[in-house]
């Protein structure tokens, strides 16, 4: 495209909340045959909330919540925020007792899995099944059933292990964006297919994919794994777009022919992308492709 055509399209995009960072993305977007969507915060609203809490090997819900607050207050993950909010709501502090314990030792992040921390003399792990397996925390059928029941309802389970035993768990839900299914089906009508990639587990991911009408998905994928998936698809000769919001999506956003970041997403994702969807509305994936198509048609 000529510099003028790019400028016109960029201006038009900006007025519609689609920030196009350069001519390259604009020239490639019309060729996109496949859109890869991240799940959390991209297809879903990204505001998870706790819908249930259960105890397995600890007797006091208050103690359990206090330990969860101590561990998750240190994490930036939206799931961590949901856990903290829920636990604090269950046990509000009053009067002279206004402080929760949030000072901890040895805080570590396990990307795509959870966190580890020492709360007082207790070794605490908060995260998914994979985290427990990686840290050799065993669990029986009671925990297994809770996980699978919730995952089939498209919920994510947050397991809390204290000193090597799963003490209890939270189930978290994150609703699908209202426009998600419509966008996937419209892309399909344009001859563009959709795939989902996520760090979340297979069962939850499958339930969400079904809700939005995506047939192909890759779950339990770490950030570099997401980028590798994009490269694999490109090697089949396809022009691939990636839509994501998180730090964990940035390698994939860079690898894609066209990286689109959700405006409400993290700065790292916005920086890694070629196009920013300011309104965080998935309809604008179509706006961006349309804009590219019109620009290319005009100059040919
Ligand atoms: P996504 O690709 O869906 O955006 P992430 O890669 O950020 O997901 O995380 C993958 C999974 O790791 C989450 O679904 C959750 O099960 C677990 N997880 C990561 N961080 C935390 C945390 N701080 N607390 C609880 N669970 C976590
Ligand atoms: Mg995400």
Residue whose CB lies within 8 A of the most ligand 1 atoms, among 127, 135, 195, 266, for a mutation test: 127
What b-and-e string marks burial along 105-129, b requiring 16 or more CB atoms within 10 Å of the CB?
Answer: eeeebbebbbbbbebeeeebbbbbb
Q: What is the DSSP letter of 88?
A: H
In whole numbers, what is the pLDDT of the chain averaged over residues?
94
pLDDT tens track for 119-161:
999 999 999 999 999 999 999 999 999 999 999 999 999 999 9
Tell me: pLDDT of 282 over 80: yes
**C-beta of 250 in contact with ligand 1 (< 6 A):** no
Which residue's alpha carbon is at the smallest distance from atom 25 of ligand 1?
127
Q: Please state the ipTM of this predicted complex.
A: 0.96
Which residue's alpha carbon is at the smallest distance from atom 7 of ligand 1?
112
Interacting residues of 63 by C-beta distance below 8 A, sequence separation 6+: none
Which of residues 256 and 91 earns the better pLDDT score? 256
3-state secondary structure at position 195: strand
Which residue's alpha carbon is at the smallest distance from atom 26 of ligand 1?
127
Residue whose CB lies within 8 A of the most ligand 1 atoms, among 80, 111, 113, for a mutation test: 113
Domain ranges of the chain: 3-46+175-299, 49-173
| Phi, psi (degrees; rounded to nearest 5) at 218 | -130, 120
Ligand 2 center to 38 CA (angstroms) = 6
By the CB criterion, residues less than 5 angstroms from ion ligand 2 are: 38, 40-41, 245-246
Beta strands in the chain (DSSP E): 18-20, 34-38, 49-55, 105-110, 114-119, 122-127, 156-162, 165-173, 193-197, 216-218, 240-244, 258-262, 275-277
Q: Which ligand minimizes its atom distance to the CA of 196? A: 1
**C-beta of 128 in contact with ligand 1 (< 6 A):** yes
Check residue 95 and give its pLDDT: 66
CATH hierarchy code of domain 49-173:
3.40.1110.10
Which of residues 98 and 218 earns the better pLDDT score? 218
3-state secondary structure at position 271: helix
Tell me: pLDDT of 70 over 90: yes
Whether 3-46+175-299 and 49-173 share one fold: the answer is: no
> d(Cα 116, Cα 131) in Å, to the nearest integer?
9
Largest CA distance in the chain: 73
**C-beta of 266 in contact with ligand 1 (< 6 A):** no
Going by pLDDT thresholds of 50, 70 and 90, the confidence category of residue 103 is confident
3-state secondary structure at position 193: strand
- Residue 197 near residue 209 (C-beta atoms within 8 A): no
Tell me: pLDDT of 30 over 80: yes
CB-based contacts of 212-220 (< 8 A; 24+ apart in sequence): 212/43, 212/176, 212/180, 212/181, 212/184, 213/181, 213/184, 213/185, 213/188, 214/37, 214/43, 214/184, 220/112, 220/130
State the pTM of this model: 0.86
Residue whose CB lies within 8 A of the most ligand 1 atoms, among 110, 199, 217, for a mutation test: 199
Q: CATH for 3-46+175-299, among 3.40.50.1000, 3.90.650.10, 3.30.365.10, 3.90.550.10?
A: 3.40.50.1000
**C-beta of 127 in contact with ligand 1 (< 6 A):** yes
Q: What is the DSSP letter of 275?
A: E
Check residue 97 and give its pLDDT: 65
| Token pair belonging to 291 | 């804009």
Tell me: pLDDT of 96 over 70: no
Looking only at the bridges linking them, the beta strands covering 156-162 and 165-173 are: antiparallel
Q: What are residue 176's DSSP bridge partners?
A: 44
Check residue 175 and give its pLDDT: 95
**C-beta of 71 in contact with ligand 1 (< 6 A):** no
DSSP for 35-56, written as a single string = EEEEIIIIIB-S--EEEEEEES
Which of residues 230 and 223 earns the better pLDDT score? 230
Tell me: pLDDT of 263 over 70: yes
């Amino acid at each position: 495209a000529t510099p003028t055509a790019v400028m016109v399209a960029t201006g038009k995009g900006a007025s519609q909340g689609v920030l196009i960072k350069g001519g390259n993305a604009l020239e490639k977007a019309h060729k996109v045959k496949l859109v890869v969507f991240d799940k959390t915060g991209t297809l879903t609203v990204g505001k998870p909330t706790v819908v249930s809490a259960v105890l397995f090997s600890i007797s006091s819900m208050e103690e359990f919540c206090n330990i969860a607050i101590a561990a998750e207050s240190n994490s930036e993950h939206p799931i961590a925020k949901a856990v903290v909010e829920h636990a604090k709501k269950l046990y509000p502090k009053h009067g002279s007792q206004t402080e929760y314990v949030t000072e901890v030792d040895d805080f570590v992040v396990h990307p795509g899995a959870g966190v580890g921390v020492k709360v007082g003399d207790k070794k605490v792990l908060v995260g998914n099944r994979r985290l427990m397996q990686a840290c050799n925390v065993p669990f029986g059928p009671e925990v297994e059933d809770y996980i699978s029941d919730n995952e089939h309802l498209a919920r994510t389970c947050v397991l809390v292990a204290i000193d090597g035993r799963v003490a209890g768990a939270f189930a978290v839900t994150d609703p699908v964006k209202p426009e998600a299914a419509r966008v996937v089906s419209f892309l399909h009508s344009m001859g563009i297919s959709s795939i989902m990639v996520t760090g979340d587990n297979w069962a939850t991911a499958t339930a969400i994919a079904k809700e939005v009408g995506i047939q192909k998905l890759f779950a339990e994928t770490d950030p570099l794994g997401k980028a590798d998936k994009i490269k694999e698809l490109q090697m089949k000769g396809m022009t691939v777009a990636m839509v994501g919001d998180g730090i964990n999506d940035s390698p994939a956003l860079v690898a894609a022919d066209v990286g689109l970041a959700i405006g409400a997403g993290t700065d790292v994702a916005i920086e890694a992308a070629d196009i920013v969807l300011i309104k965080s509305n998935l309809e604008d994936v179509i706006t961006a492709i349309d804009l590219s198509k019109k620009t290319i048609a005009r100059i040919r």
